[in-house]
Amino acid sequence: MRSKRFLVASLVVLFACKPPTPAEQLDSALSWVATARMAGDAWLQHTTPDKYTRQTLELSQQTLLQLGTKLLKSPVPGVDSASLDSLLTRSRGHIAQMAALVTAKNSPGFRQQLDSLISDETLVKQFADSAESKQ
């Protein structure tokens, strides 16, 4: 009986998938903003095909939406979650615009959105650094 309880407890501990911490989610958000930026740079240099670029930008946008929702529910300690949410929302907007501009093959407009995303990336990095220093 005791061994059975131990087995059940061990399995519960083993498979109790705790979600990533808010700080890890913020790092993930930074990684996806950086991915969108790298994919954007590559597209402007004619390195990647349109379909791949659009899909990657859409994936970045969707993932950032999910991460933003999670970060609102469980904020990163010491980080102004309202400001972070508005920053991530703005970044998503730039990425969505970039995806649309790939379809339209509008390079100048794409470059403008990419520049704005680069500014946002710097700010997300500041949030991530500040969260890391407070850990």
Partner 1 sequence: MKKILQLTLGIITSVGGFLEIGSVVTAAQAGANYGYKLLWAILLGTICLIFLVEMSGRLAAVSKHTIVDATRERFGFPFFSIVMLGIVAVAFLVLVAELGGIGLALQILSGIGFRWWAIPVSIIVWLLMWKGTFGVIENGASLLGLVTISFAVAAVKMHPDWGGAAHGLLPTMPGDGKAKYGFTAVSILGASISPYLMYFYSSGAIEDKWDESYIPMNRIIAGFGMTFGGFLSMAVLVAAALSLQPRGIDIEKFEQAALLMTPALTRWGFYLFAFSMLFACLGAALEISLAIAYFFAQGLGWSWSEDLDPSRDSRFAFTYTIIILLGAIPLLLGIDPIKVTMMSMALTSATLPLAIVPFLFLMNDSIYLGKHRNGWLSNSVVAIVILISFVLAIISIPLEIIGG
Instruction: Please report, as ranges, the residues that interact with partner 1 according to CB under 8 A.
Output: 13-20, 24, 27-28, 30-31, 34-35, 37-39, 42, 45-49, 51-52, 54-56, 59, 63, 125
Question: Which CB atom, from 39 or from 79, has the smaller least distance to partner 1?
Answer: 39
- For residue 128, the minimal CB distance to partner 1 (Å) is 8
Q: How many CA atoms does the CB half-sphere of 13 hold within 13 Å? A: 6
- The span from the CA of 34 to the CA of 28, in Å, is 10
- For residue 93, the minimal CB distance to partner 1 (Å) is 20
Q: 């949030």: which residue's tokens? A: 127
- What DSSP string runs through 8-45? HHHHHHHH--PPPPHHHHHHHHHHHHHHHHHHHHHHHT
- For residue 83, the minimal CB distance to partner 1 (Å) is 20
Question: Which CB atom, from 1 or from 16, has the smaller least distance to partner 1?
Answer: 16
> Which class for 15: exposed (0-12), middle (13-18), buried (19 or more C-beta within 10 A)?
exposed
Question: Which CB atom, from 1 or from 45, has the smaller least distance to partner 1?
Answer: 45
- For residue 96, the minimal CB distance to partner 1 (Å) is 16
In this structure, what are the phi and psi dihedrals at residue 99, rounded to the nearest 5 degrees?
-60, -40
Question: Which CB atom, from 37 or from 92, has the smaller least distance to partner 1?
Answer: 37
